Chain A
Amino acid sequence: MKLYNRYILTVAIILLLTTVIMIATGQNSLDIYFTVYVIEALVITELYVYINNKARRGLAYVSAILFGGFTIALCLQIIRILA
C-alpha cells in the first residue's frame, strides 16, 4: 500500500510540476502537454519495478490507453503537417 501511495504521489507531483513549468514557459499546445504527460507517466511506471503483478497488469492497460491517445495526437499532427 505504501508503495502505491508513493507511486501515485510521484505521478501527481511530476504532472503538476510539468503543468506549472509549461504554463510559465507560455506553452499553448494541448498536444505537447499531453505528449509530455504520457511520457512522464510511462517512465515513472517503469521505474517502479517492485509494484506487484496484479497492479502492473492494471497499469499496463492504463499505459495502453495513454499510448493510444499519444498515437492519435501524433497522427493528427502528421495529417496537419501533410495537408
Chain B
Amino acid sequence: MKNRNTYTWAGLGLLIAGGLTSLSAYFVFHLIWLTALGICMLILSFILIALGKAIPKLSPEVCSLLLETGIDNIATLIEELGIKSKAIYLPSSLASKYPRAFIPLHSNGSRPEITKALPQRLIARYGSKPEDIGLLISTIGSTATGMLESKPGATQDELESALTSLFTGRLGVADSTRVVCQNNHIKIEIHKPRLENGASWSHQCLGGPLAAVVASVAAEAWDKPMTISQEEQVNGKYCVELEVGR
C-alpha cells in the first residue's frame, strides 16, 4: 500500500482492465479490434506504472513548506542586516563544493572581484580590506544545479538545453526556455512560468527563485560569477538578464 501514487493506481487499474478486455475479446468474443484496444490499455498501464516509480515520495505541500521556511529564514537575515547590494552567483570552483550566492555586506557601487575560492562559511572574506566581507549562502539554484545530469558547457545552446531540462523535465515549473548571449550579458526567457516571485527585500537582493536557478546554472556553465541585472514578467514570459563577471 505504501508509496503508491495516482499514477501507480491508474496503471494497476488499466493493467487489470486491459488484461481482462484483451483476453475475453480474443478467446471468447473473437473480436480483433477489442483485443487491440485491450493491448492499448496494457501499454498505457506499463507506462503509468513506470512513471509512478519516478514520482517523488514527498508531497508538493511538504516541499513547499520546506522551501518557504528556507526562503523565509534567508529573507529575515538579509532584511535584519539591511543589505541592499545585489547577490553574486558564484560557480562551485569559487564557492567550495557547489554554486552559491555571495552578498557583499559593504558595497560602493562596484562589484567585488572574487578570484579565489571562498571558504565554506556563512560570513566569508574575499579581500584583504576590513570591508571585504559578505554572506555566502545557498539558494534554490545551488540545489537545482545538482539535479543536472552533467555540467553544461559555456554556450548558448548548452545552457538553453540544461535550463529546459531542469525547468520542464525535473522541476515542471515552466514550458520552455530561450537563451541569447550578447557580449557579457545573457538574456533568458522562461515561457509560461508557474512559480511566483515575491516582492520582498530579499528578492531584490537575491532575485526570484527562477532567476536564482538561472544564475546558478549559468555561473556553473561559464565558471564565472554572475549577477542578475534585470528580471521581469511580461505576457506569460519571465525574462532574466545576467551579467557575466570577470
Interface residues of A (CB under 8 A from B): 1-4, 7-8, 11-12, 15-16, 19, 22-23, 27-30, 33-34, 37-38, 41, 49-55, 58-59, 61-62, 65-66
Contact = CB atoms under 8 A, between A and B. Distances in A.
B50 A62 contact: yes
A41 B169 contact: no
B43 A66 contact: yes
B98 interface: no
A29 B32 contact: yes
Contacts of A2: 172
Contacts of B55: 1, 4
B51 A4 contact: yes
Given A1-B172, A3-B168, A58-B51, A8 B40 contact: no
Given A7-B47, A22-B36, A59-B50, 20 more contacts: A1-B172, A3-B168, A4-B55, A8-B44, A8-B47, A11-B47, A22-B33, A30-B39, A37-B40, A41-B47, A49-B165, A50-B165, A52-B54, A55-B50, A55-B51, A58-B49, A58-B50, A58-B53, A62-B47, A65-B46
Contacts of A52: 54, 169-170
B48 interface: yes
Given A33-B36, A51-B169, A52-B170, A61 B50 contact: yes
B117 interface: no
Nearest to A28: B32
A22 B51 CA distance: 28
Contacts of B44: 8, 11-12, 15
Please name the 4 residue pairs, one residue from A and one from B, whose CB atoms are nearest each other, closest first. A58-B50, A50-B169, A55-B54, A33-B36
B172 A19 contact: no
